[in-house]
């Protein structure tokens, strides 16, 4: 994978075609994003009372699914994590943005660039609190969480990679050491060995990262994220973190943000 495209991913937001209908409060809309040379589907959820107070800004969870939910039907993404939760709880107190990786893709450069453009456009067009943008993902999406946090500007207030393993360049460069991180891994996970997740945690701690590690001793792959996303403490933990004001991110429009 060419890392340079991660670095420029959040640029050129204005050139993308925002091919979607508007989302409705209390519902999770299945929408489409088209950059011109890359098209993908995504989900966007707005809380039930979104818009009641025109001055209210909402925290946002940027969620990344696993490899089994790839495709061109965003409804497949609803089977796990926050997109599943909001189907049953329209009062969930976050905007939830969930891009879908196309079938056959494992987060290519074009996918990552498109996801970053989508996030920037949602922040500009909806009442998002730019101090409280959180990123999380499961399995393949957990790896994406590490990678996006590493290559994009410091726009995330907290991260939660779940059932993910080791990425050498993230651990080596220590770029995300200033972001609060909560990692979850299962002791009986045969898809992503527990030791890989533990190694990532240990090396990030050596960087000085503010990292919390939950090891579910008897959990297999799927059970790891079912337990993590089913724990209300995760969402309270997200909300306990926000970027300071003023900051290099919140003082600029999204179109002006320069990647590191």
pLDDT tens-digit map of 51-82:
999 999 999 999 999 999 999 999 999 999 99
- Cβ atoms of 221 and 186 within 8 Å: the answer is yes
- Evaluate the omega torsion of the peptide bond into residue 246 and state whether it is cis, within 30 degrees of 0: yes
Order of all β-strands in the sheet with 158-162:
28-34, 39-45, 95-99, 58-64, 128-138, 158-162, 181-186, 211-216
In a domain, 3, yes or no: no
Segments forming the whole domain that contains residue 163: 15-242
Rounded CA gap, 119 and 132, in Å?
13
In a domain, 252, yes or no: no
- The 3-state DSSP class for residue 216 equals strand
Rounded CA gap, 32 and 19, in Å?
6
In a domain, 65, yes or no: yes
**pLDDT reported for residue 246:** 42
**pLDDT reported for residue 255:** 45
Query: Which residue ranges in the chain fall short of pLDDT 50?
Result: 1-20, 246-260
CATH code, domain with 206? 3.40.50.1820
In a domain, 1, yes or no: no
Burial class (CB in 10 A: 0-12, 13-18, 19+), 54: exposed
Cβ neighbours around 215 below 10 Å, total? 15
**pLDDT reported for residue 210:** 93
In a domain, 249, yes or no: no
In a domain, 248, yes or no: no
Tokens of 39: 């098209």
Number of structural domains in the chain:
1
Beta-carbon contacts of 251 under 8 Å, excluding residues fewer than 6 positions away, are none
**pLDDT reported for residue 2:** 36
What tens digit of pLDDT does each residue of 45-58 get?
999 999 999 999 99
**pLDDT reported for residue 106:** 60
Tokens of 238: 């997200």
**pLDDT reported for residue 6:** 35
In a domain, 135, yes or no: yes
In a domain, 23, yes or no: yes
**pLDDT reported for residue 15:** 38
């Amino acid at each position: 994978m060419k890392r340079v495209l991660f670095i420029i991913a959040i640029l050129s937001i204005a050139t993308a075609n925002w091919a979607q209908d508007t989302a409705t409060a209390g519902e999770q809309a299945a929408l489409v994003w088209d950059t011109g040379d890359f098209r993908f589907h995504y989900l966007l959820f707005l809380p039930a009372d979104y818009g009641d107070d025109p001055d209210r800004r909402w925290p946002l969870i940027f969620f990344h699914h696993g490899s089994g939910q790839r495709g061109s039907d965003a409804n497949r993404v609803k089977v796990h994590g926050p997109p599943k939760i909001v189907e049953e709880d329209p009062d969930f107190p976050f905007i939830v943005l969930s891009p879908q990786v196309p079938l056959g893709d494992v987060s290519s450069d074009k996918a990552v660039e498109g996801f970053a453009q989508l996030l920037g456009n949602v922040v500009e067009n909806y009442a998002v609190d730019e101090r409280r943008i959180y990123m999380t993902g499961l399995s393949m999406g957990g790896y994406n969480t590490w990678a996006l946090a590493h290559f994009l500007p410091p726009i995330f207030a907290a991260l939660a990679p779940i059932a993910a393993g080791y990425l050498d360049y993230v651990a080596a460069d220590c770029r995300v050491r200033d972001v609060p991180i909560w990692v979850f891994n299962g002791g009986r996970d045969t898809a992503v060995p527990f030791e890989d997740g533990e190694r990532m945690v240990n090396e990030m701690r050596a960087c000085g990262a503010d990292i919390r590690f939950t090891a579910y001793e008897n959990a297999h792959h799927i059970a790891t994220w079912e337990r993590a996303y089913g724990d209300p403490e995760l969402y309270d933990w997200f909300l306990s973190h926000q970027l300071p004001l003023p900051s290099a991110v919140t003082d600029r429009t999204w179109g002006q943000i320069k990647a590191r």
